[in-house]
Amino acid sequence: MAKKGNLLTVRKDIRVVDATIRDGGLCNNFRFDDKFVKDLYNANVKAGVDYMEFGYKASKEIFDVNDFGKWKFCDDSDIRKIVGDNKTDLKIAVMADVGRTDFKKDILPKKESPIDIIRIATYLNSIPAAVEMIEDCAKKGYETSINIMAVSKANTEDLKEALDILGESPVNVFYIVDSYGALYPEQSRKLADLYCEKADVYKKSVGIHAHNNQQLAFANTIEAMTHGASYLDATVDGMGRGAGNCSLELLLGFLKNPKYKVEPIVKIIEEHTHRFKEQGIKWGYDIPYMLTGQYNTHPRPAISFSNDDRTDYSKFAIELYDIINS
């Protein structure tokens, strides 16, 4: 497909999504205090960010509330403590995993909730269950996105078929999700072309959520955007599971729309995320994450390596090779 936009123009279809609390919450079990979340909310409003994802709508029947902070569950009352009636242009998002969310009970009708969009996360093998969730959330009045995870492992024909099935649903956005940080820009471009081709047929938008295992999250994001993706995920200081994500401050600085401002996000880094690192919360590019990205595999072994404060990278490379090829 032809490139969309250029470095000197503004694309009115772009929507920037801050996923710091949700993806960053995977670094500290969602134990963010209200001051940080409130400061981030205010910063996003000032920065012109379009959506802020507060966390997961996880099932309290599956996950013990004592093991996590409240943003694992995103009770509407907790969100309201931060945003009130949210009389701003910033929209509120949460993520709901297929099979891990009591969506019929815990996701209230939109008119009773501060949430604007439900981002439904699924693997290819659970598309019918994802469609059920999409239909339920849409009927309740929400915008929805479908985030097909681990797309770097997906068979192209299966992916095409899944997008056709999802295209017939009321979902608003198809998301490319590089769960393992394995994609290179050429692959992101091809996926964006495929997703946008299907999105044009079904009148949907396309988004991208990238991980930084190979220092390519920003590059993959802008490559997908150039080829038609319009919903762009990012996190403050790149904070997110393992190697982290596309950095919000980089993305806002790249976009030419004058409504986006970098300074409020830089202040959050100065006042909060640097403190998190001093407290021992870990994320960001490192050799173990690079290796899992290159092997196109889940970063669990690398997360364990990092949590154990290991530095024997060459031994880990051998261990990972044995895991992948066993």
- The series of mean pLDDT values per 10 residues for the chain, 326 residues long, is 81 97 98 98 98 98 98 98 98 98 98 98 98 98 98 97 98 98 98 98 98 98 98 98 98 96 98 96 97 96 94 96 88
Per the structure block, which two tokens stand in for 189?
């471009």
* CA 231/CA 156 separation, integer angstroms: 22
pLDDT at position 65, please?
97
pLDDT at position 206, please?
98
Q: Report the greatest alpha carbon distance in the chain.
A: 54
pLDDT at position 3, please?
81
Per the structure block, which two tokens stand in for 256?
């030419």
Beta bridge partner(s), residue 232: 16, 208
Q: What is the dihedral of CA 42, 14, 125, 166, to 10 degrees?
A: 120
> At what angle are helices 300-307 and 287-294 packed, to 10 degrees?
170
Q: Is the pTM for the entire model greater than 0.85? A: yes
pLDDT at position 6, please?
84
pLDDT at position 1, please?
66
Per the structure block, which two tokens stand in for 99?
């099979």
* CA 319/CA 214 separation, integer angstroms: 19
* CA 316/CA 302 separation, integer angstroms: 8
